[in-house]
């Protein structure tokens, strides 16, 4: 585990992308890179050598990943970068993506946009009972054990 003052510290988080980092794609003219360890995958969106967005996914249940950190530089927010990175996870890598237990107004908008994409199925995951259920936003936002779940149709 690492000690960090602020998860929005792009310069510090750039260090997560070491020797085993691979380029996996391009999003809106930026280079998408991934670096894996035993139970996490880190995705960084780079403008040349500058990290402009990053996403930390933690593997659980062997088939699912939980998003723990996702940050986009302020000047690039609202341009669909988060949606495109999530779509990469879901549609290209065929990951079953589960939200963490905290939601910001930006992640709320992101999940709402994902619901409009025909290739993506949005459901609800109950961590207490290990059940995948039909989506009920009021349940997700009012219970720490309920999460969004996204997967390819």
Provide the 3-class DSSP secondary structure of residue 47.
strand
Give the tens place of pLDDT for each residue, 17-48: 988 999 999 999 999 999 998 889 999 999 99
Three-state DSSP at 52 gives strand
Q: Would you say residue 2 lies in a domain? A: no
Q: What is the pLDDT of residues 110-145, one digit of tens each?
A: 889 999 999 999 999 999 999 999 999 888 888 889
Domains of the chain: total:
1
Q: Report CA 66 to chain centroid distance, whole Å.
A: 7
* CATH number reported for the structural domain that contains residue 47 in this entry: 3.40.630.30
Strand-strand pairing, 50-60 and 146-152: unpaired
Parent domain of 148:
10-152
Confidence of residue 1 (pLDDT cuts 50, 70, 90): very low
Could you give the CA distance from residue 59 to residue 38 in angstroms, rounded to a whole number? 9
The whole model's pTM is what? Answer: 0.87
Is residue 35, in this structure, part of any structural domain at all?
A: yes
5: in domain: no
Q: Does 62 fall in a domain?
A: yes
Instruction: For residues 45-73, give the mean pLDDT.
Output: 91
C-alpha 143/C-alpha 84 separation (Å) is: 27
Share of the chain above pLDDT 90, in %: 60
């Amino acid at each position: 585990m690492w000690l960090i003052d602020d998860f929005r510290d792009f310069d510090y988080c750039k260090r997560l992308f070491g020797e085993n980092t691979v380029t996996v794609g391009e999003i809106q003219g930026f280079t998408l890179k991934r670096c894996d360890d035993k139970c996490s995958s880190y995705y960084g969106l780079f403008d040349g050598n500058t990290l402009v967005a990053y996403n930390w996914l933690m593997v659980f249940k062997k088939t699912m990943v939980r998003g723990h950190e996702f940050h986009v530089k302020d000047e690039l927010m609202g341009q669909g970068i988060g949606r495109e990175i999530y779509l990469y996870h879901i549609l290209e890598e065929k990951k079953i993506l589960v939200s963490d237990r905290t939601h910001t107004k930006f992640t709320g908008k992101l999940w709402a946009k994902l619901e409009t994409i025909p290739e993506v199925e949005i459901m609800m995951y109950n961590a207490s009972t290990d059940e995948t259920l039909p989506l009920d936003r009021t349940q997700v936002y009012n219970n720490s054990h309920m999460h969004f779940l996204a997967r390819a149709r």
